Amino acid sequence: MRWLLLVGLGLLTYGGWKYWEKDSSVGADDDNSAAFESVDSPDDPSTRESDSRDIPVPDASEEASLRQQIAGTKSPNGDEARQKLIRLLQSKRDAAATSEARQLLTEMIQGDGNRAPWAASLSFRNFEEGEARIERARAIVGMGDRAAAYVDALEALADDEAKSTTDSRQLRAWELYSKAYFAQTDEDDENNRRMRIRKKLDPIVKRIVLSPRHTSAFPIYKVKSGDSLDAIARKHKTTVATIQLVNRLPGTVIHPKQTLKILSGTVSIEVDKSEFRLDVRIGDKYLYSSPVGLGKDGGTPLGEFTIRTKMEQPTWFKRGVGEVEYGDPENPLGERWLGFEETQEYSGYGIHGTDQPDTIGTESSAGCVRMRNEDVIGLYPLIPRGTRVIIRE
């Protein structure tokens, strides 16, 4: 029944034709999957096993057979043939084909079979616009993170919220974009998706999170007589540098009745080795991201670690040599060092800067996670001691 609720959200609208018409600019010799973006076609609605690119465009000679297979049937019976016929109609790229494809998609959604998620996803991605698209997105997100087109729906809702400059809607956009950014998918273009969402997230974070702007997301602390930034930071489990950064404080001097925005929430770091990417969360939301370099021959260890030490302009302690001072060409640590607590298996690992920016995105370090100096300087004030770091393949 849930799919029946979706049918009235604009599938057979003028907007559907406009989306198809826009796609018709792709040449007839182009890959026919261009007009129908990646969509799920699971045998089980709770899984994502294939998308439109896995459904080859049938030969025109098969059209009569496909029509015969669906003649007199009611979805979900005959949905496999409907799916193939939709791909064939896509390749025709004309108004009549568009109209028939929309009708077939409607039948599949109403049939609520195993391929109904595929049909709903396709209609959302390629047919709907305006308020109908937003309503469809809300319905998809309401079905949970296993729903077809879930991540696309999150991004569509976030885009809608981000149109407004009000703090409440900007905060909602931050939340939705963060969910879309951190969602795990098997899509081939996942890296591009995250890059696109980062470009939307960073201005929001800069405007309403890493700024003195007072919002409902973070508490405001009124300075009392005898307070110090260090004491306030320890009380709220943050860092002096974070308080200074957010509140644009030039130094450590504060005065009674001064108000300070506090970034409350647990900060954590995730390093994705396959993407050469470091992400920072505050709670479950996006805070910061940077490309990284990793250890030679897969030398950066996997697992969970904890930030134990922090150093600005760090000295490097080289095994068998001793101290190598900051500024020495032999010191590879750059401008900042965030050292991991030793474990039974590993010691001497951490996150640091580098004066060799061309090594970012490569496996070239001795095993540590390295960042461009400007990036590690940006990261450093956000990370309290005790921050959890997860490194995954």
Please name the residue ranges forming H helices in 127-228.
130-142, 150-162, 167-182, 190-204
Rounded CA gap, 67 and 62, in Å? Answer: 9
Helix, strand, coil shares of the chain, percent, nearest 5, are 40, 15, 40
User: CA–CA separation, 159 vs 29, rounded Å?
Assistant: 33
Let me know if 317 is exposed, middle or buried by CB neighbors in 10 A (0-12, 13-18, 19+).
Answer: exposed
| Residues 160/166, Cβ–Cβ less than 8 Å | no
C-alpha closest to that of 305 among 263, 331, 344, 264: 344
Contact 267, 334 (CB under 8 A): no
- Residue 127's nearest CA partner among 84, 86, 66, 158 is 86
Taking alpha carbons only, the member of 22, 45, 25, 23 closest to residue 121 is: 45
Which of the following is catalytic: 214, 236, 255, 352?
352
**Catalytic annotation on 368?**
yes
One-letter amino acid at 177 equals Y
Q: CA 331 to CA 191: how far, in whole Å? A: 33
Give the active site residue among 214, 236, 255, 368: 368
Per the listing, tokens 């009549």 go with 96
**Active-site annotation, residues:** 352, 368
